[in-house]
Structure 1
Amino acid sequence: MGRKEIEVIEGLERAMIEIRRRQRRRVLMRREVGGSSAALGAGFDVLDVVEAAEERGEAVGVREVAAALSVDQPRASKLVAGVVADGYVRREADQADGRRALLVLTDGGRGVLARAHEARRGAMRRATEGWTAEEREVFEALLTRFVAGLG
């Protein structure tokens, strides 16, 4: 690998670290949605997990939330209990396994996620302000390819 390639890879690493830090602090969401995502905290991540599972047509319970968030099951249970108590998710009996509860987004949870998606898109629009349509398309294609390559 040549010097220029090393510098590019190092630049990608720095950019990804900064994105991760901002995501962890929910900088974009606080700026866009106000305090709601900050108040939800890690519970917001639960909503993302449930939404992604629903989009894939998969059932999700506390075990899957724990795996997706890389936390232990007691922590995932606590996070799930919080979003259930707030009315963003409801538990439904798993028809295949009566001992298991499945998580389903409520209208309130869908509303929070809709506002979050709009906020994220707004942040993306502002971050790419001044870019041409072609530059946005190329960036989207490369970023999508990059994420797929991460495995």
Structure 2
Amino acid sequence: MSRPVSKKSDPALADVERGMVRLRRSMANRTLGKLAVRELGLDVDLGTMAVLDVVQEGADEPDGEITVGLVAERLGVDPSRASRMVATAIDAGYVERVASQSDGRRITLRLTESGHQFEDTMHRFRQAQFARAMEDWSDREREQFGRLLLKFTASWRETMRRGK
């Protein structure tokens, strides 16, 4: 059951919307990934970077497995595109295919040692960029923002899941 859209504008929600639109635009332009490639001198496809993030993030369930289908779902691409992206990550040596622990006929994905090293490098780079963006924020503001951002993204994910 969906709620009717309020005719009265909520300034806080307008700020959230404006911020999310700006963030989405930056994400769509892959600004942070392009910056990492340029500043770190990486020889990696931006699609591979996205695949590595999905594989490292893991499944939603504690015993869940990472599959090409999950990569497709999280990246919002069709399964054939996800399969090509995963193949590129495998060819680069960052991801490997392994037999499922629950069904040996099924293939799952995991990071190689090189994939873990790459992700560690990316975490340090991204966090350094976020620290630069928040350099004039207090520790309390950073903590609150992190907590609220995680809360928002969890709520948003659930809202979108219910809306399907």
Summarize the Cα distance change of 1:94–1:22 in structure 2 as closer, same or farther, 3 Å threshold. same
Structure 1 residue 98 displacement after superposition: 3.7
**Do the aligned partners of 1:53 and 1:59 also contact (CA within 8 Å) in 2?**
yes
Post-superposition CA distance 1:79-137 (Å, at most 9, x none): 11100001010111235434322111011111111111111111111111111112212
1:82 aligns with 2:72: no
User: In the alignment, which residue of structure 2 is the partner of 1:16?
Assistant: 20
Number of the residue aligned with 1:43: 48
User: Quick one: higher RCO (CA 8 Å, sep 6+), 1 or 2?
Assistant: 1
Runs (5+) with no aligned partner, structure 1: none
| Aligned residue in 2 for 1:125 | 131
RMSD: 2.4
Cα distance change on mapping 1:57 and 1:98 into 2, 3 Å: closer
**Percentage of identical aligned residues:** 36
Question: 2 CA distance for matches of 1:23 and 1:41?
Answer: 12
Q: CA offsets per residue over residues 43-101 of structure 1, 9 Å max, x none?
A: 21111111111795532121221222222211111111100001010111235434322
Distance 1:9 1:81 in 2: 41
Report the secondary structure of 1:91's partner residue.
strand
Q: Given residue 25 of structure 2, which amino acid in structure 1 is its aligned partner?
A: R
SS of equivalent to 1:102: strand
- TM-score between both structures, scaled by the size of structure 1: 0.84
Runs of 4+ aligned structure 1 residues displaced above 4 Å come to: 54-57
Secondary structure of 2:58 counterpart? helix
Report the TM-score when normalising by structure 2. 0.78
Alpha carbons of structure 1 residues 78 and 120: separation in structure 2 relative to 1, 3 Å: same
CA distance, structure 2, for counterparts of residue 133 and residue 97 of structure 1? 46
Which amino acid letter does the alignment assign opposite residue 152 of structure 2? F
Secondary structure of the 1:148 match is: helix
